[in-house]
Structure 1
């Protein structure tokens, strides 16, 4: 307010000075008086105006001061509220810290108490251990005096007894685990195989490759041989097959490792005999035409096999190799028919297991593809077939299943095991294969001889055409648990010693008979 007063006074002085200067030049006293009066009025008006301004400034200053005071009090109130909240939080934290401190102290006391208890127990255990060791030493000394055995001898006897007991318990455990596993696995496996067999019905007797050509008469042998043997040499040179003409009446035998060439030679010879014109030029012409016909038949046979199984996308060369299996036999079983059968069985079992049916059929169809060229390349047909399949773009799973179906490669997929099972099933079913009587008898004798070579075996009988061997043991020498181990040992010995298709079941039979006679 004092500032406003000074300002107003200055303004009034300036106005008065200006008025005085303005009136200085006025002449005459009247005019001077009038001017002075006018100036006085102006000063009073200025004074009044200044007083009004001073009052307004004072009122405005009071308003500003009031607002500043109100804002200060509001901020102070908020600050006090925040401080109270912080104070309450600090008090809560302090209480939590106090509680945690109490808990830590309790835990420390509990840990200290447990440590003391463990220490006391350790001391007690140590003292008891010393006492027991002393007793054991005393008992050992007494046992040595009583049994006249040294500690090493007694230890050896004890170890031997424990080993026998462990073997006995192990055999019991193996038997129990096998029974539990077989109870479920056998049911499912039998169901899958039975379903597959019911859904597929193959020929009971398989086709055989004919290697003998019947002649209309023995005079035809001379015409086949020709002058100085030129006809027979021309046939052998054109076909790569040896012709054996002996005392067999009205027949010529064809000999050769390549079944396709043997078939070409057979068909060409039949045509030459029916035509009657047999000479080197005619022989070459007929063999060439028959070779083309056989190639067509081979291709059609491979395509038909793939079509029958619904397998598509096989390389054209693989189709040809597949068709060549039409002229290949294994134990008198046609290999192409066998491959189709294995493919069908694989697909059926895969569908039962929820696997890819088409992939399984493809593996089964191609599993014996190596037999089409195994007489030309060294090595097992499974390995040859896997390399052939890989060469013509088959997937790694198919290549592995082909190579593993005879354990030449360890099987690592379910599909490979399916191919093994289907292959054994196709070859082992009655009527599928033909075996020479001598080989059959020798295999039966070898089976029975292997089983008879084990201790405790009384009698051995090979049944079901050598698919099962039943071993009767002496009950006083072999226990029930040991019979489990014996069956396993016999099966392992058979696998190591013999070569056979499919599988051989080993059954160990143990029985105890008590016989008594009543006399009177």
Structure 2
């Protein structure tokens, strides 16, 4: 047991000693390892320091290079700017030099002109002196020739004066004819278009003989007591009626009638029918007047639409919208020199169709253009301008073709025609308007107007024959070529036209054509 205990103790001591020795060895190994790491770290740090120094040196060198390049660049920019400024200064200097040269030349030129003017003044003074001397000489020569002529011809002073005045009058008339012809040509070149518009507008809007007839309507009344009821207390009824209808009501001493006056035919028709209804009903006061006028307006609008549809059906024109048909139907209450414009439009449509088909054109296009050619007359009293332009602008809203638009706008020659249908519409319009009786002119008055035209033409000296043609729209005057020379022909034509204007009343315009012909006949035997 003791031996076992001793042995166990030795083993323990040996183990402890081994552990201590192992720990010492491990510690020594750790110490060496730590020293080795410190040595490596110091080497790496030194390498990094060296690398950092090298990078710093390269950065410094790059910075120095960049700075040097920037300095060079700035120097180049400053040099370029200085060169530009110097170039501008040289340009300014050159311009100033040129301006000074120009001023010098102008000054020299002005000096030369001044000298020329002085020379011209001297020359004019010399010429003036010469002219005075020549005038005195000419006056003395004329006096001598006058005395000699009086002695040779045996005429006294009065006879010689009359002869000279006659010769002077002939010369003046000759020069006046040339001047008139020249001025007329110049005026026609400049104002033909404008004058056509003015004349066309005036013709369409004014007709002296029919003014009373087409601007008033008569309404029959049963008694004079009804006139008082129409007027109302202190005139309130008549004022309310005029305000509601937009027309003038004339109540005078004429028995049995009241006059409704206004330039708008539709308003006048509404007023006439409303007044007739009020008189028949007997209840006349402002409220009732407004009700009746409103009801009549609706009824007339329906009637106008039906008239437009009937006219379109009559001429077989399809696809017209109701607004356009209503405007077309309102032409039934519009007259031009007494001629119903709706019936005139229907006539033009048929005439244009016949002419178009004779020429191999489309008759339906001609009918459509003829029916719509005067549509502007339905609104020319409320819109500024001539009815061709008004109608064209209105039809553009309904996308009518360019052929129809040109036919409507150009049928009075306001603009050039650009298709073959436009001249046909103009011709059909003239035929429908100029035929005897179309514009409420009796055959007797028509013949008298033609006779008056020929009488005026024959009243001028030198006229051989005069003929009124084209339903009185043109006068052909044939003159004696031995009595009327070419220079006087223009003046005579103008005098004839002026006399027709002063002595006659007629629709539209009358063309005066003066013919002077020289025929030289000889025989070779």
Relative to the length of structure 1, the TM-score reads 0.51
Cα offset, 1:215, TM superposition: 1.9
Residue 353 (structure 1) aligns with: 359
**CA offset at residue 477 of structure 1?**
3.1
Q: CA deviation at 1:251?
A: 1.5
* Shift of residue 236, structure 1, vs aligned partner: 0.7
Q: Residue 428 of structure 1 corresponds to which residue in structure 2? A: 434
Count of paired positions? 302
Distance 1:255 1:331, change over 3 A: same
Distance in 2 (CA, whole Å) between partners of 1:464 and 1:415 is 22
Residue 500 of structure 1: CA displacement? 4.6
Aligned to 1:329: 335
Taking only aligned residues, the RMSD between alpha carbons, in angstroms, comes to 4.0
Tell me whether 1:417 sits opposite 2:423 in the alignment: yes
**1:450·1:490 contact (CA, 8 Å) conserved in 2?**
no
Task: Determine the C-alpha separation between the residues in 2 that align with 1:511 and 1:361.
Answer: 46
Distance in 1, matches of 2:371 and 2:482, equals 51
What does 1:56-455 align with in structure 2 at a 5 Å threshold?
211-434=217-440
Measured after TM superposition, the shift of residue 427 of structure 1 is 0.6
Distance 2:454 2:301 in 1: 44
Following TM superposition, by how much is the alpha carbon of 1:375 offset from its aligned partner in structure 2, in angstroms?
A: 0.4
Please state how far the C-alpha of 1:490 moved relative to its aligned partner: 4.5
Contact 2:349 2:366 in 1 (8 A): yes
Q: Which residue of structure 2 aligns with residue 97 of structure 1? A: none
Note the alpha carbon deviations across 1:12-37, whole angstroms, 9 max, x for none: xxxxxxxxxxxxxxxxxxxxxxxxxx
The separation in 2 between residues aligned to 1:348 and 1:227, in whole angstroms, is 60
Matched residue of 1:365: which SS?
A: helix
Listed one character per residue, the Cα deviations across residues 330-367 of structure 1 (whole Å, up to 9, x for unaligned) are: 11111111111111111111111110100000000000
Structure 2: how far apart are the matches of 1:346 and 1:267? 36
Tell me the secondary structure at the aligned position of residue 265 of structure 1. Answer: helix
Does the 8 A contact of 1:448 with 1:462 survive in 2? Answer: no
- Structure 1 residue 506, shift from structure 2 partner: 4.8
Are the structure 2 counterparts of residues 500 and 332 from structure 1 closer, same or farther at C-alpha, using a change threshold of 3 Å?
closer
Rounded to whole Å, the distance in 1 between the matches of 2:287 and 2:447 is 47
Structure 2 stretches lacking a partner, 5+ long:
1-212, 520-525
Q: Is the 8 A contact 1:231 1:279 kept in 2?
A: yes
- CA drift of 1:371 comes to 0.5
Q: Deviations over 1:236-262 (max 9, x none)?
A: 111111101122222111111211111
Give a deviation string over 1:309-343, Cα, whole Å, max 9, x none.
11011132211111111111111111111111111
SS in 2 for 1:430: coil
Shift of 1:478: 5.6
Q: 2:247 touches 2:271 (CA, 8 Å); kept in 1?
A: yes
Contact 1:350-1:418 within 8 A present in 2 as well: yes
Distance 1:398 1:487, change over 3 A: farther
SS at match of 2:249: strand
3-state SS in 1 of match to 2:483: coil
Q: 1:131-154 CA distances to partner (integer Å, 9 max, x unpaired)?
A: xxxxxxxxxxxxxxxxxxxxxxxx
SS in 1 for 2:472: coil
Distance 2:328 2:380 in 1: 13
